[in-house]
A and B are shown apart, each in its own frame.
Chain A
Amino acid sequence: MRERRKRRRHRDQVAGEIELMPMLNVFISIIPLLLLSAAFVPVTVIKTTLPSDSAAAVEPQKTPLDLAIHIHPRAYQLEVSGSIVANIVRDPKGGEAATQTSHDQLLEALQGVAAAHSDEREVRIVSESRTRYEEIVEVMDVARTAGLPEASLAEGLEGS
């Protein structure tokens, strides 16, 4: 009797093992698929709007500040209502790559203007035709940090 019970327990243990192989097969095919398509560096967007004809027809309520940042190969220029208020050399050593210092200076200048006009949210970024996209995005970042999130893009004259 005891012998028989022992044998039954043995049989139960064998039957109790779950068949894991099919599940494992599924996992092994799903996980590489998910890993490949997972975005580990999140992609975000910067929203810009184009001036539409209908928007242009509406008269602005107040005189616009017309704040613009000019990106020149060697310098950033900050323009307020048609006059240049700041000229920031991008690289003191004479190169064309923008340095962190020049970004900080631009940020300071923009924050100064933004503090004086607290309701101003728009800034025009005037680039030359050969300005690289990355530089424009960097300037947009600086403007957003300074509290001017609505950047629009414009083209300036060469060599001005």
Chain B
Amino acid sequence: MRRRRGSWRRKSEGSGSVNLISMMDILTVLLLFLLKSYVAGGEVMVPPAGIELPSSNADAPPQSSLVVAIDGDEILIGSERVATLAEALGEPGLEIAPLTAHLQAVQQQQNEIAKLRGAEPAQHLIATIQGDRNIEFRILQKVMYTLGQNGYENISLAVLQKS
């Protein structure tokens, strides 16, 4: 009898019963909070690294759309590099040819997806521009013009919300 009790005690020490319940409580609350912030946020837009968005008191929520990012030296669609700023500024006129080519490719892809789904291709296309706060107006103007020429008439400018 004494022997058996001794062996049980040794087993319970071996399994290392640290009290984890309190830690689990914290983690559960944290997890719920994070999940809630996801659900309540709707479309969550995370600015890409290296782009410092300007801050503004605008409060319109972002929509899911094509994202064109302009950082210190490049123009990106999604995460794909399209043109450098020097190339874009070097083009005569307002249109940026490599951006047009990319936009048309994207549009063709979307039209094919729409056709496969049996839906009408979208008429009013939406684009969001994530521009660094230090870019110059001339590059913004060129990007907006090119988007407009390719059917993206509704353009949103992404900004950080001022608290």
Real complex partners, A and B? yes
Main secondary structure of the interface of B (DSSP, over half): mixed
Q: Which of chain B's residues 21-37 have a Cβ closer than 8 Å to chain A?
A: 21, 23-24, 27-28, 30-31, 34-35, 37
Q: How many A-B Cβ pairs are below 8 Å?
A: 148
Complex alpha-carbon distance, A38 and B30, angstroms: 12
In this assembly, does A101 line the interface, its C-beta being within 8 Å of a C-beta of chain B?
no
Q: Which of chain A's residues 1-51 have a Cβ closer than 8 Å to chain B?
A: 10, 14, 17, 20-21, 23-24, 27-28, 30-31, 34-35, 37-39, 41-50
Q: Evaluate contact between B144 and A43: CB separation under 8 angstroms.
A: no
- Closest-CB distance, B19 to chain A (whole angstroms): 10
Say which one of B51-59, B74-82, B99-107, B109-117 lies at the interface with A: B51-59
In this assembly, does A144 line the interface, its C-beta being within 8 Å of a C-beta of chain B?
yes
Q: Evaluate contact between B159 and A52: CB separation under 8 angstroms.
A: no
Q: Evaluate contact between A144 and B58: CB separation under 8 angstroms.
A: yes
Complex alpha-carbon distance, A42 and B63, angstroms: 13
Q: Evaluate contact between B56 and A133: CB separation under 8 angstroms.
A: no
Q: B84: which A residues are within 8 A, CB to CB? A: none
> Which residue of chain A has the shortest Cβ distance to B1 in the bound complex?
A3
Q: Evaluate contact between B20 and A20: CB separation under 8 angstroms.
A: yes
Q: Which of B30, B133, B161 contacts A42 (CB 8 A)?
A: B161
Q: Evaluate contact between B153 and A52: CB separation under 8 angstroms.
A: yes
Centre residue among A27, A45, A138 by max chain B CB count within 10 A: A45
Q: Which of A38, A43, A47, A141 contacts B37 (CB 8 A)?
A: A38
Q: Which of B31, B63, B141 contacts A27 (CB 8 A)?
A: B31
List A residues at the B interface (Cβ < 8 Å): 10, 14, 17, 20-21, 23-24, 27-28, 30-31, 34-35, 37-39, 41-50, 52, 127-134, 136-138, 140-141, 144-145, 153, 155
14 A-B pairs besides A20-B24, A137-B55 with CB distance below 8 A are A17-B17, A20-B21, A24-B27, A41-B160, A43-B46, A44-B160, A45-B60, A45-B63, A47-B60, A50-B147, A130-B136, A133-B133, A137-B54, A155-B138
